[in-house]
Amino acid sequence: MLELSMNILDIVENSTRAGANLIRIGVTEDRRRDTLRIEITDNGEGMEPDVIQKALDPFYTSKTVRRVGLGLPLLSHAAKITGGGCEIKSKKGEGTTVTAHFGYSHIDRQPLGDMPTTMATMITGNPGIDFVYTHRSDDESYTLDTREVKNELEDVPIDHPTVMQFLKENIRDGLKEIGAGS
């Protein structure tokens, strides 16, 4: 994958297949410490310890439509080549957290990508799932919580095209306001 936002999309897809109805996505850019951290937490079915061990193996997948699962192994590799790493914490029946750390200024770090479009894609494709997206850039932060948005919308569906365009613009403006990079 060329952009880290595509890895996020892939992991969120895993979360939705695991029955999650709340997914938290955190991105932290810490230029002083030269780190980028991505953390995705869900309240899905979780994984058994033996599955956690296999999850970073590209030749293991829980999917029945193909024999390989490249999302987590690619994220792990992308993190490791920048001096970072990837870890998975999960408890059966409670959910999973995937955390990846990257060297922020490392020449091999992939760009974060288009997070407004990635978030809009996830929300549109999963209107029944709640998302909390928090992006921190040094001392500033931006948060979008779809539970709050749905509350304000009342009878208008969150995946309505006008709402999605508004959310993309809101995220884009919020990231620009906090000085989020790529």
Residues 6+ apart with CB under 8 A from 86: 56, 72, 75, 76, 79, 80, 98, 99, 100, 101
Distance of CA 177 to the CA centre of its chain: 21
What's the pLDDT at 52? 83
Which pair of tokens denotes residue 21? Answer: 């109805």
Per-residue pLDDT reduced to its tens digit, 130-174: 999 999 999 999 999 999 999 999 889 999 999 999 999 999 999
| Sign of the alpha-carbon dihedral angle for 104, 109, 113, 115 | negative
Check which CATH number belongs to the domain holding 123 and give it.
3.30.565.10
Position with higher pLDDT, 72 vs 149: 149
Number of domains making up the chain:
1
Range with the poorest average pLDDT among 64-78, 79-93, 168-182: 64-78
Which pair of tokens denotes residue 124? Answer: 């549109």
Average pLDDT value over all residues in the chain: 91
Which pair of tokens denotes residue 70? Answer: 């490249």
- Conformation bin of residue 13: beta by default, left when phi > 0, alpha when psi is -120 to 50: alpha
Residue with tokens 């931006």: 142
**What's the whole-number mean pLDDT along residues 13-25?**
95
**What's the whole-number mean pLDDT along residues 29-33?**
97
Determine the straight-line distance between the first and last CA of the chain, rounded to whole angstroms. 15
Q: What range does the domain containing 89 cover? A: 4-178
